[in-house]
Structure 1
């Protein structure tokens, strides 16, 4: 409440007026903070006191409340969102926004004066947008709900065509894969069939990568052969051969019988549901045992016709050409039974057998045509790679104009190399290629995101378990807060384990896969780590050398070359490059490098052995010391070597001697059947008669690595 006070006094009563004014000021301090102002009146020469209201000061409580006051901004008004689509009717808009038809018509009338009914289609999108705004909402454009959503994978991706009608199919020649154990004569059999010599050019007689050959027999029949490696490291390549073939010829040597890779080949052929023809090879050898080989095959579920089974079997000698015609007749008969047919028209479908890079021809892929006819200029897609066919070659390098059904052909013109085993499809044009690749890349990104999410969730769960365990431990100790001392820095922890960094370059993808598969069998990571810095196909490049130099690593090549310019750079940077043509020699070289990184081992060598006959003490410099009276029973005892005392096969002392005497003379060597006195460096050692003393030395030996790659 506000009240005004005025005091009028004469000059004579000035003192009392001043006192009253003070009283007023005192009383008003607690109410309104009112202060009085006194001045003299000019007319009557009296003092007039009038109230003066100043700005009220805030108390401490008001200031405190002001500080604790939280400003809350006004929440924005959220407008409802209405789904709209093209060619929407008034009734549909009414249903979508949840308003009556009349309200919708009134909102439309502000923008369009045309006559609208509830069934009228709103073709003008601006009228539709403005009507939604007039209704106090936002709009979201969506496809019409009743439209059938088409599958993007059908429209965007390239897939195989539906199976052809039998009326358009023609007879095709068979695709035959020759499989079996290493060195059982698979490549020699192909040499005899096509009258060439491939074994002489192969390293150690081992096929290092898959080969595809079109062979025309003397009878005029045409067969496409796939020669797969028999080595254990090339199991993935054998699997690709089994999945792309019509018939499998299983080569088994009559002298060795069924071996490990033979069993794997049988399993792959059964998984691919491919008929098997057994070729028992090397029947001309003296130690050949055909019946034993058939029994071993029966143990693996392969029952040949001569033993009452259903699997055809032919006894051959690939080296001397015995019974090869009979084997080919069996293949042709099996193909007739299978009635192999295909569609020679339309877009090409096939499978990539192998990929490589060649100097002068660039990126090259070997493909097997399964449908259609491939010609120069065709647009191909395989995985995330594509090509416009610039040229095609057969297995001997001759240029061909077209590749028909079941033909194996080498294709150049790839922008990026495909992956061996991928599906090969022809598309209309390059525009279609971009659509397909974009779709596949997006799908791959989605798959990676899903995989990454799974990994993140697993790591998060592991982190939560560790965190909860640590939290419970801190609670048990009465500490629930983590105290951080000093700045948080990221430290690189060196575990002290040596590493061997390698760069792998090979001729084809299959060889790289085989080498990497062998690396997976390395398990001695606690002593030395084996890291693959980079791998690829083709000749060694400058980037490979710089990468190896940065990681202090080695470059290993497999059936590929090194340009002279790159070799000069490698010599300048001191980057070693090792060349290999046989896989087990490459692995042995890596084992050697690993052993160089490891500390040398220690090996004991027993020098002599003695029996304790008596223990006695002697005075030496006024001190009693123990001496073992012994007899050397084998070898020789040397003073400066190591000694071990055994009592009931338990070691009671291991160390060196302080003195060795024969009679009363100091000696350095005691031979067999000579008695001696031995005093050990440890004066507390007490021997007993019957103890055994062994003299030995320790040699340093090169370190070895526990790595069994399976060959």
Structure 2
């Protein structure tokens, strides 16, 4: 895992090229988002290329512990970036040990010491600084340090004593699944325990089937796959979801029974439960009913200073019975990935002078996650305090009337600056409260003092029309 453009995929390509005999026609086609390489000492390692963090979080939300070890890729010339921090949060939440690969060491401006110092802020301490995290300097371009990286993984796995019984029935996790035109439903499965053979009857999520064929990461058909092997499985009755658990069962009747039971349960759950408890008052009620005493928060703000202040204030509010913990604290608008993380951690989302984009709003509605917006830190802290005391008073709700996009700004002698706008959705009404948002960050709040269409002052303007506004 790591930040965009820090060289995750090129590092994986380099690791794979080293291990694949050059004799194969044109190298190798990558079939699966996971594949195996072997170290010089014969240790087999399976790599999963995490397709963005959102997918990784979604898998975690389903309770899937997919990886044993996380390799955090950080570019030596770029240092720790926002997604690096996000990756660290995900790895810590999944309780997976981290090995840091400091990539792009072939560049002139590479500075590994800076990377190590920046990682200190996130409690990741290199071995040479007295910590327990292995940090390996590599270059995907020149291939330097790759063998050391594989040895570090092998060493970490020895420490963790990763073992599995290969004789029992296969069990694993679906990494991805798709509907293939020629082959039907295809699930990429990472075997975690036991062995999977052609002809085995299995159940995965809400579908069942019989293994028609197994395809390994080299695209070859195989008869059996052992623990930690990534394989494509053909023969399921439908397309399972990423993160579903895959289990071998004795008979087809049993498989169908389990699949039907799960499907029924899922239907009941979706009709009965509605949104989960991810609003403050519901969460406090749940905490009262259980003994678990922790409010998880996702905090996003317009500047780092406010975000840090909010996180510190929230942590100080903790009492013996209940504590607040920030799962993620970052700068910028609220994105879909924040909502996914909130759903996975059952957290509430707090926005300080920022707004959620459309995808995030839709995702939040679907998952029943409450997003609370604030522009005064004290209000936010008071709300949290009240929530922790279990006394949330009815809050001031805003009803969005509509939104408009500013196309041009004019200077008018009497009124000053006027915004020429097009109304995108809903309607715009004179005298309503307005908020100016640039890049999901609130830059002004006030009242709509003047609303004109052509030269005339009007009361309201509907979607699709253009108008002039003064604030």
TM-score by length of 1: 0.39
| Higher RCO structure, 1 or 2 (CA under 8 Å, sep 6+) | 2
Distance (Å, rounded) in 2 between the aligned partners of 1:434 and 1:242: 23
SS in 2 for 1:195: helix
In structure 2, stretches of 5+ residues that fail to align are 20-30, 278-335, 342-354, 364-401, 426-435, 442-471
Distance (Å, rounded) in 2 between the aligned partners of 1:703 and 1:224: 49
Distance (Å, rounded) in 1 between the aligned partners of 2:7 and 2:275: 49
2:408 equivalent in structure 1: 603
1:522 equivalent in structure 2: 357
Report deviation, 1:295.
0.9
Report deviation, 1:338.
2.2
Q: Is the 8 A contact 1:345 1:371 kept in 2?
A: no
Query: Is 2:30 the partner of 1:261?
Result: no
Distance (Å, rounded) in 2 between the aligned partners of 1:306 and 1:362: 51
1:236 equivalent in structure 2: 57
Distance (Å, rounded) in 2 between the aligned partners of 1:364 and 1:707: 43
Report deviation, 1:599.
7.2
- In structure 2, relative to structure 1, the CA distance for the partners of 1:285 and 1:415 (3 Å cut) is same
2:452 equivalent in structure 1: none
Q: Is the 8 A contact 2:65 2:94 kept in 1?
A: yes
Q: Is the 8 A contact 2:32 2:232 kept in 1?
A: no
1:329 equivalent in structure 2: 151
SS in 1 for 2:45: strand
Report deviation, 1:195.
0.5
Question: Which residue of the other structure, out of 29, 45, 49, is the alignment partner of 1:223?
Answer: 45
Deviations 1:427-455 (A, max 9, x none): 11111122212332343344345426999
1:454-469 equivalence runs, <5 A: none
1:272-421 equivalence runs, <5 A: 272-421=94-243
- In structure 2, relative to structure 1, the CA distance for the partners of 1:298 and 1:221 (3 Å cut) is same
Query: Is 2:18 the partner of 1:183?
Result: no
Q: Is the 8 A contact 2:71 2:99 kept in 1?
A: yes
Distance (Å, rounded) in 1 between the aligned partners of 2:41 and 2:56: 33
Q: Is the 8 A contact 1:210 1:229 kept in 2?
A: no
- In structure 2, relative to structure 1, the CA distance for the partners of 1:323 and 1:309 (3 Å cut) is same
- In structure 2, relative to structure 1, the CA distance for the partners of 1:702 and 1:454 (3 Å cut) is closer
Q: CA RMSD in A?
A: 4.0
Q: Is the 8 A contact 1:210 1:353 kept in 2?
A: no
Deviations 1:411-432 (A, max 9, x none): 1111111111111111111111
396-405 vs 238-247, which moves further = 238-247
Rg bigger for which structure? 1
1:503 equivalent in structure 2: none
Query: Is 2:246 the partner of 1:424?
Result: yes
- In structure 2, relative to structure 1, the CA distance for the partners of 1:398 and 1:709 (3 Å cut) is farther
- In structure 2, relative to structure 1, the CA distance for the partners of 1:220 and 1:196 (3 Å cut) is closer
Report deviation, 1:219.
4.2
Q: Is the 8 A contact 1:243 1:272 kept in 2?
A: yes
1:550 equivalent in structure 2: none
Report deviation, 1:210.
8.2
2:352 equivalent in structure 1: none
TM-score by length of 2: 0.58
2:280 equivalent in structure 1: none
2:256 equivalent in structure 1: 434
1:271 equivalent in structure 2: 93
- In structure 2, relative to structure 1, the CA distance for the partners of 1:515 and 1:420 (3 Å cut) is farther
- In structure 2, relative to structure 1, the CA distance for the partners of 1:522 and 1:235 (3 Å cut) is farther
Deviations 1:334-384 (A, max 9, x none): 222222211111221111111112221121111111122111111111111
